[in-house]
């Protein structure tokens, strides 16, 4: 049996970033398991192998247990299949885990299917592996249900484990432990920091190579419009108003100083086409690594990606959040206000996060930025 420090379970490129940062900073002997739920997973895996960051990188693209659940056609069928997997958990874990390995700790993020399967396995088979959860971006901070376990899940696991307790996280690793604890005051589990990417040159170098971050992929324009189509549904009238506002920003600051980072599904037409960031599918966190976020003025209706420069690089762009000026058809401003207010408290200069309440306040913000850009 080969004893390893850690196993990392990742399902997104952002999680890969966090896993690389953690294992390099902690100097661990670790394996990486990638559940390929994103485009280019195999290519990422190969570049990570080339860097020698992990002992072994395994892409879980042929695990029958995962395919079985993902191919479910309804909630009832999915539940039955998950129950089947739990009942055969030793066989399932054998298909997922590398043979003849033992791990001191498994790192994963909240509610990842593969990690849930392995936690059931650890619990049922009395495997000594501990569990730690790590940062999954804004969802780790503003998800109110991060500690909630559904009644269905509780009952299912009780059926499998009987009187044995279900294994859960013993530690959290977050880019901003302070923000995490403020957002989740009920948390009683220790929270440890993940150093920002500029703290360790080795982490920066690995990320640059793995994610193919080059200077030409950065944003140099001082005014950046971040689309938030995925999160926000506006009234038809306000959907037109925000497009006009974007057009106004281009007119106010000049074509050479404004760029739009669109959501991949954004099909809106601007009256005066604004220059667009061409790599639509490139995550904003990767763009930040290729740019100088501290020099940015980020205008967004409600994109939580705006917190990434602070979390990952400890850089503080000016953020102008527009959601109080428009009527959303769904969502709760109270939750968002709390999230951004607590985020402001982590800034060295809290005045760089602005939420205008009126058009007049927005006018003043625009005038201030224009003066700075002269």
The domain total for the chain is 2
Backbone angles phi, psi at 100, to 5 degrees: 60, 35
Place of tokens 């993020």: 109
Half-sphere exposure for 109 (CA within 13 Å, toward CB): 22
Domain, as residue range, for 149: 2-210
Interacting residues of 50 by C-beta distance below 8 A, sequence separation 6+:
209
Considering just the CA atoms, what is the radius of gyration of the chain in Å? 22
* Residues 161 and 230 grouped into a single domain: no
Last residue within a domain, chosen from 210, 240, 266: 210
Judged on CB neighbours under 10 Å (0-12, 13-18, 19+), 258 is: buried
* Residues 197 and 273 grouped into a single domain: no
* Residues 124 and 238 grouped into a single domain: no
Domain at 147, CATH number: 3.40.50
* Residues 181 and 240 grouped into a single domain: no
Last residue within a domain, chosen from 194, 210, 226: 210
* Residues 111 and 11 grouped into a single domain: yes
Q: Which two three-digit tokens encode residue 282?
A: 């490139």
* Residues 155 and 296 grouped into a single domain: no
- Whether the CB-CB separation of 316 and 353 falls below 8 Å is answered with no
Place of tokens 């100097």: 27
* Residues 64 and 158 grouped into a single domain: yes
* Residues 202 and 260 grouped into a single domain: no
* Residues 156 and 272 grouped into a single domain: no
- Whether the CB-CB separation of 19 and 116 falls below 8 Å is answered with no
* Residues 247 and 130 grouped into a single domain: no
- Whether the CB-CB separation of 187 and 180 falls below 8 Å is answered with yes
* Residues 184 and 274 grouped into a single domain: no
Other C-beta atoms lying within 10 Å of the C-beta of residue 188: 7
* Residues 162 and 300 grouped into a single domain: no
Backbone angles phi, psi at 179, to 5 degrees: -65, -40
pLDDT at residue 230 in the model: 47
For 137: left if phi > 0, alpha if psi spans -120 to 50, otherwise beta; the answer is left
3 state SS of 263: coil
Mean pLDDT by 10 residues, the chain (374 residues): 95 95 97 93 96 97 87 86 91 95 96 92 94 92 79 79 88 96 93 95 96 94 82 73 89 94 71 82 89 96 90 96 82 83 95 96 97 90
Q: Which two three-digit tokens encode residue 139?
A: 């969802």
Short-list 14, 23, 15, 5, CA closest to 203: 23
pTM of the model: 0.90
Last residue within a domain, chosen from 154, 189, 210: 210
């Amino acid at each position: 049996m080969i004893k390893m420090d850690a196993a990392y379970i990742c399902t997104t490129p952002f999680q890969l970033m966090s896993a690389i940062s953690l294992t390099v900073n902690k100097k661990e002997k670790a394996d990486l398991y990638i559940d390929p739920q994103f485009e280019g997973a195999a290519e990422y895996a190969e570049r990570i192998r080339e860097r020698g960051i992990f002992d072994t990188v395994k892409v879980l693209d042929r695990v029958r247990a995962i395919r079985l659940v993902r191919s479910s056609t309804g909630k009832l069928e999915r539940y039955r299949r998950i129950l089947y997997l739990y009942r055969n958990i030793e066989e399932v874990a054998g298909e997922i885990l590398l043979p003849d390995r033992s791990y001191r700790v498994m790192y994963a993020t909240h509610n990842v299917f593969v990690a849930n399967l392995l936690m059931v396995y650890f619990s049922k088979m009395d495997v000594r592996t501990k569990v730690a959860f790590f940062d999954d971006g804004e969802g780790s901070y503003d998800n109110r249900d991060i500690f909630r376990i559904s009644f269905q899940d509780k009952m299912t696991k009780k059926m499998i484990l009987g009187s044995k307790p279900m294994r859960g996280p013993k530690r959290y690793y977050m880019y901003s432990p302070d923000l995490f604890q403020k957002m989740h005051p009920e948390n009683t589990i220790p929270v440890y920091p993940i150093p920002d990417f500029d703290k360790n040159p080795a982490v920066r170098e690995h990320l640059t190579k793995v994610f193919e971050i080059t200077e030409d992929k950065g944003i140099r324009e001082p005014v950046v419009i971040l689309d938030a189509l995925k999160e926000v549904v506006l009234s038809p009238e306000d959907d037109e108003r925000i497009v006009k506002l974007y057009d106004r920003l281009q007119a106010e600051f000049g074509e050479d100083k404004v760029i739009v980072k669109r959501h991949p599904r954004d099909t809106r037409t601007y009256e005066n086409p604004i220059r667009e960031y061409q790599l639509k599918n490139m995550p904003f966190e990767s763009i930040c690594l290729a740019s100088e976020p501290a020099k940015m003025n980020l205008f967004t209706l409600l994109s939580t990606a705006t917190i990434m420069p602070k979390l990952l690089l400890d850089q503080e762009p000016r953020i102008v959040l527009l959601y109080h000026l428009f009527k959303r058809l769904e969502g709760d401003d109270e939750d968002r206000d709390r999230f951004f207010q607590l985020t402001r408290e982590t800034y060295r200069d809290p005045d760089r996060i602005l939420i205008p309440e009126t058009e007049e306040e927005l006018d003043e913000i625009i005038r201030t930025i224009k003066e700075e850009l002269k």
